[in-house]
């Protein structure tokens, strides 16, 4: 039977078991270049992973790294103990006599992921020890862990290299350790060199030789195969998979939690503990703390993955959801959006108008479509929030005038002094003025507006949640600036955009769009 047939046979004639998910974001993910979590950030991520996302285990640190790391592990262990999940918190430790185990005990931990060498090359050249000496050292660590009440999982570092070049060494190691108290044997593709066919071959050999042992698989993404390799491992008997949020990790990263989860569930009907509606939230939290942006087209958690642009797709969605698959956004705590641009088409625009409660005639929709296409040709991004303004612009006589207007403003910037703004606005036909200083020109402008809303209208002004500026590629000084501002008005999120040659002016345009949305 060929390999493809074997996979087919495996997935159709045997119920896949429950798959344990271990998240390594706080250990392996932190080895991403430029990423270093503060202790309280580690605690916040650990809390969310354990409580909300409900991963089975988390690997939170490497032993003996630093005092800051020790503080973080202590805080996480305290929290995990409070919610009865301390046995799910694991720390990478080394075959170093008693040092790593003592460090973990000092932190209040109960589980060590002991790092042994999974290839003869690593054993001889890195440790400069014979396999027999290495096995004796591992057994000494196991005995000491047992004395201190610490549970042990064993990593076979460079297991993939071992299976390729020295399988007899891998078997020698496991033969010597298979009857110990090691709970899980964790098999990493440390250098990210395997493909799914090799994973299938090697896992079948491991499972055939050691049917009673629990094997985890730990993938790296150097060939963009981390997810594929993880699934191949599960199909051939791996009981646990290691993942990271957003695929963080050394070099090209690890298998992303969200991708592994949905493929396990949808393609192979495997069971996991993961709460899928929390995947987007944990992605955003880690993105913020790590300072590494998620690609807009990253499956499940990217900004654009539930945004339809082509008009034919929006048309199909309105006719029995022709362009929808099992990855519905609501499943992940998100919603489908219909982007507006030159490929939108009438159906897409009609969807957005419907969501906004705007009813237009066929002729009016045609005019609005034409304007959006023109804007798309100029590479402007058009959002649903822009739509009322485009409608207003195209059909001036049909739509009420803006309620909040900028009458005049002045912002000044002088070296050594705080920027100053003077603002005059018209709200429902009545004019108001205010002055303020700020940390920047736009900050001064918004503070003046806040004064008007607080002192003259006795109203709260929305909180600025996020502020992003983009210019077209090439970075010319005369390029148009697009400013995207996210506002939080009580429990509602509003995202508005402004486009202008001047950054402050673009931000001001976005601000007035937001104020008019609130008035409406």
What is the chain's length?
520
Q: Is 363 a catalytic residue?
A: no
SS3 content of the chain, % helix, strand, coil (to 5): 45, 20, 35
Name the strand (E) or helix (H) holding 407.
Answer: strand 404-412
Q: Which of 20, 27, 30, 57 is catalytic?
A: 27
Per-residue DSSP letter, 473: T
In sequence order, which residues have a C-beta less than 8 Å from that of residue 228 and are 6 or more positions away?
195, 196
77 membership: H or E segment, kind and range: helix 67-82
Q: Indicate if 165 belongs to the active site.
A: no
Q: Are 268 and 16 in contact (CB under 8 A)?
A: yes
Catalytic residue among 20, 69, 90, 157: 157
> Which class for 357: exposed (0-12), middle (13-18), buried (19 or more C-beta within 10 A)?
exposed
Question: Collapsing DSSP states into helix, strand and coil, what is residue 14?
Answer: coil
Contact partners, residue 34, CB within 8 Å, separation at least 6: 291, 292
Say how many C-beta atoms besides its own lie within 10 A of residue 187's C-beta.
Answer: 29
- 117 contact partners, CB below 8 Å, separation of at least 6: 123, 126, 127, 134, 156, 157, 158
Q: What span, in angstroms and rounded, lies between the C-alpha atoms of 394 and 372?
A: 10
DSSP string, 321-346: -TT--S--GGGGT---EE-BSTT-HH
Contact 369, 340 (CB under 8 A): no
Taking the C-alpha atoms of residue 300 and residue 279, their distance in angstroms, rounded to an integer, is 8
311 within 8 A of 351, measured Cβ to Cβ: no
Alpha helices, DSSP H only, in 275-329? Answer: 279-290, 311-318
Contacts 24+ apart (CB under 8 A), 140-145: 140/97, 141/95, 141/96, 141/97, 141/100, 141/101, 141/114, 142/114, 142/177, 142/180, 142/181, 142/182, 144/97, 144/98, 144/101, 145/101, 145/112, 145/114
CA 427 distance to own-chain centroid: 41
Q: Which one, of 432, 423, 427, 431, lies nearest residue 403 by Cα?
A: 427
CA nearest to 180, candidates 156, 217, 153, 149: 153
Where in the sequence numbering do the catalytic residues fall?
Answer: 27, 157
């Amino acid at each position: 039977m060929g390999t493809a047939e074997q996979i087919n046979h495996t997935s159709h004639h045997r119920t896949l078991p429950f798959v344990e998910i271990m998240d390594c974001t706080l250990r392996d993910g932190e080895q991403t270049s430029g990423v270093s979590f503060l202790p309280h950030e580690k605690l916040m991520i650990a809390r969310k992973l354990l409580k909300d996302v409900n991963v089975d285990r988390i690997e939170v640190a490497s032993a003996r790294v630093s005092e800051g790391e020790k503080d973080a592990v202590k805080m996480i262990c305290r929290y995990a103990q409070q919610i009865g999940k301390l046995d799910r918190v694991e720390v990478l430790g080394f075959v170093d006599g008693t040092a790593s185990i003592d460090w973990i005990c000092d932190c209040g931990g109960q589980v060590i992921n002991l790092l042994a060498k999974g290839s003869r090359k690593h054993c001889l050249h890195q440790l400069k020890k014979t396999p027999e000496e290495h096995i004796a050292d591992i057994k000494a660590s196991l005995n000491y862990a047992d004395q201190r009440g610490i549970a042990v999982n064993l990593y076979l570092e460079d297991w993939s290299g071992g299976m390729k070049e020295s399988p007899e060494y891998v078997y020698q190691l496991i033969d010597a350790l298979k009857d110990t108290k090691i709970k899980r044997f964790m098999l990493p593709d440390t250098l990210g060199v395997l493909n799914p066919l090799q994973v299938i071959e090697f896992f079948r050999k491991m499972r055939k030789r050691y049917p009673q042992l629990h094997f985890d698989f730990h993938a790296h993404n150097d060939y963009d195969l981390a997810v594929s390799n993880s699934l191949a491992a599960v199909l051939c008997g791996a009981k646990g998979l290691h993942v990271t949020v957003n695929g963080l990790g050394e070099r090209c990263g690890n298998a992303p939690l969200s991708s592994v989860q949905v493929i396990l569930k949808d393609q192979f009907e495997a069971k996991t503990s993961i709460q899928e509606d929390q995947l987007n939230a944990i992605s955003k939290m880690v993105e913020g703390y790590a300072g590494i942006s998620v690609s807009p087209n990253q499956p499940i958690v990217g900004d654009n993955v539930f945004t339809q642009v082509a008009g034919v797709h929006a048309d199909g969605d309105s006719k029995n959801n022709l362009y929808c698959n099992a990855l519905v956004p609501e499943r992940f705590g998100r919603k489908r959006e219909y982007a507006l641009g030159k490929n939108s088409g009438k159906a897409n625009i009609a969807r957005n108008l419907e969501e906004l409660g705007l009813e237009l005639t066929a002729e009016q929709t045609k005019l609005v479509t034409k304007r959006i296409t023109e804007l798309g040709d100029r590479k402007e991004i058009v959002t649903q929030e822009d739509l009322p303004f485009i409608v207003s612009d195209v059909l001036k006589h049909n739509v009420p005038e803006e309620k909040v207007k900028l009458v005049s403003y002045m912002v000044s910037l002088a070296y050594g002094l705080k920027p100053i703004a003077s603002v005059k606005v018209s709200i429902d036909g009545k004019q108001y003025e205010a002055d303020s200083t700020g940390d920047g020109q736009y900050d001064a402008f918004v503070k003046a507006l806040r004064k008007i809303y607080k002192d003259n209208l006795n109203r709260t002004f929305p909180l600025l949640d996020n502020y992003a500026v983009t210019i077209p590629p090439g970075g010319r000084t005369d390029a148009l600036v697009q400013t995207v501002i996210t506002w939080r008005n009580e429990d509602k999120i509003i995202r508005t955009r402004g486009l202008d040659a001047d950054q402050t002016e673009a931000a001001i345009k976005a601000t007035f769009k937001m104020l008019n949305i609130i008035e409406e």
